[in-house]
Structure 1
Amino acid sequence: MHAVTVSYPRLATFPPGGYDKGRGAHWLAIWFAVQHLFFKKWWFPRRLRPTVLRAFGAEIGTGVVIRHGVRVTWPWKLAIGDDSWIGEDSWIYNVEPIRIGSDVCLSQGAFLCSGSHDHRSSDFRCDNGPITIENGAWIAADALVLRGTVVGEGSVVAARAVVRQDVPAGTVVHIGTVY
């Protein structure tokens, strides 16, 4: 039998930070407190969620509906167009900017993830990229959109589907489809 040499990152060498959070530690702490004590709660008025995000630097259009349980990593790296809906328990992990167009529906549990790591690097360094969801797209329940991608206008990312590259306008990405 031949021994196989496996290479993997050494996590102790991970470079601190890895990306620009865009604000200082004090501001980050205030956002975390507001998000976890009020913003995500079922009892917090839905009509106030866009106002809170705007207060922390997000660009939020009119008629935006943000349901309870929604998690936003850094509001100042978020833009949402008019009349978009963000469903319960969606996670907008925006270590890089995430732009959501108008008339976009992010269904329950959708995950937009602009952060990752380079598994080939010896120190597991960050490998992040922005995400754009164009007008009229629907990201269905529990779908995952990964960093550095654009979901084209009027596209549908079906429930539990994964997007890891750009999706052309008007495309339907079914579960099991490689996109």
Structure 2
Amino acid sequence: MDFRNAVQLVGDYHHVEVSPDAHLDLGADITIRSFASIEVSNGANLKVGNRVFFNDHCSIRCTEEITIGHDTMFGDGVRIFDSNHQFNNYHVFKTVMSGAPIHIGRDCWIGANTVILRGVTIGDNVIIGANCLIHQDIPSNSIVTHSETLTIKPKNIAKFHAFVYTYSDQLEGLEYLLSSLPEVDFHVAAPTNVSEYLRSFERFKNFQLYEYCQSREVSDRILDMADIYLDINHWNEVDDIIGRALAIEKPIFAFDNVVHRLSEKIQVFGLDDKDKMVEAIRQQLV
């Protein structure tokens, strides 16, 4: 289905990107006014009912699934996002997303500048006041407004930081080190996508994962922030990271079965000496 031919585009400039593998189910008499922006990604599902109206400056970002019932109206500047960028305490990932479907019922009026986030279901016959952030389900036959109260909370930033740059998901002694050094945030970066096994370490609060970390600027920033570098990854050294750590006199700790370089400035431990490595790291961080 050709999106532009299926809806009535009124006024000036409409940004429309619909991927070839997207699935569209568009009703009759849909109206979209000026400066709207619509993106539907590969494999995503966008379903819009009859007589739905979008006022100026509305946006739809559909990467998973968005459904909108008949006769629903959207005020100026409404934004609908069914996915988020993934992030950790130190970095936001440009290309790694997580999504959940959005379902909006029939006969709703969504007020100007409302933002609707992933995973939300809005029932039928709902009125949402201007400037609302919709991050939870709204039952049918409801009126939604908001207060001006802001809630601000700090990120959980550790006192100390360790860095590992790796092509491999096999990091020697990682679980033991994470458990033994809760006061240290372990920044694990990979220039590629990562396995579910490596991602499983996110169960530790002090594990910070950087996927598709190909920028020298980003890896330099993490290395500068780190108090120590851990040479514990199997496979090859990534982007001269050991040399870069040595050049700025960053303390380096390694296991003898994976160490990539030998230097008097690198402290090397056997696999049976994990406790000694932990004690040496603690002494370094004092």
Whose strand proportion is higher, 1 or 2?
2
Q: Give 1:151 shift.
A: 0.8
* Conserved? CA contact 1:99–1:133, under 8 Å: yes
Q: Any stretches of 5+ residues in structure 2 without a counterpart? A: 150-286
| Inter-CA distance 70–43: structure 2 relative to 1 (3 Å threshold) | closer
Q: Report the alpha carbon displacement of residue 69 of structure 1 after superposing the two structures with TM.
A: 1.3
TM-score by length of 1: 0.64
**Which of the residues 127, 130, 149 maps onto 2:101?**
130
Determine which of 124, 131, 139 is the counterpart of 1:153: 124
User: Whole-Å Cα distance in 2 between the matches of residues 89 and 136 of structure 1?
Assistant: 21
| Equivalent residue letter for 1:42 | D
* Partner SS state of residue 99, structure 2: coil
Going from structure 1 to structure 2, the CA distance change for 1:40 and 1:119 (only over 3 Å counts) comes to farther
Structure 1 letter corresponding to 2:49: G
- Aligned-pair identity in percent equals 21
- For residue 103 of structure 2, give the secondary structure of its aligned residue in structure 1: strand
Q: Which residue of 1 aligns with 2:68?
A: 100
Alignment partners' CA distance in 2, 1:63 and 1:168: 26
Runs of 5+ in structure 1 lacking a partner?
1-30
Letter of the 2:76 partner, please give it.
Q
Encode CA deviations 1:134-165: one digit per residue, 9 max, x unaligned. 00111110001100001110111211001101
Q: 1:42 aligns with which of 6, 9, 12?
A: 12
TM-score by length of 2: 0.41
Which stretch shifts more, 151-160 or 66-75?
66-75
The aligned runs of 1:101-120 (5 Å cut-off) are 101-120=69-88
For the structure 1 residues 177 and 99, does the alpha-carbon distance in structure 2 shift closer, same or farther, using more than 3 Å as the test?
A: farther
Aligned partners of 2:142 and 2:87: how far apart in 1? 30
C-alpha separation in 2, matches of 1:43 and 1:90: 12
Q: 1:103 to 1:177 in 2, by over 3 A?
A: farther
The answer to whether the aligner puts 1:169 opposite 2:149 as a matched pair is no
Structure 1 residues 64, 117: CA separation in 2 closer, same or farther (over 3 Å shift)? Answer: same
Q: Are residues 1:84 and 2:55 paired?
A: no
One-letter amino acid of the counterpart of residue 67, structure 2: R
Counterpart for residue 67 of structure 1 = 33
Give me the CA root mean square deviation.
Answer: 3.3
**Preserved contact between residue 111 and residue 144 of structure 1 (Cα < 8 Å):** yes
Query: Larger radius of gyration, structure 1 or 2?
Result: 2
Q: How many residues align?
A: 135
Higher relative contact order (CA 8 A, sep 6+): 1
Q: CA deviation at 1:128?
A: 1.0
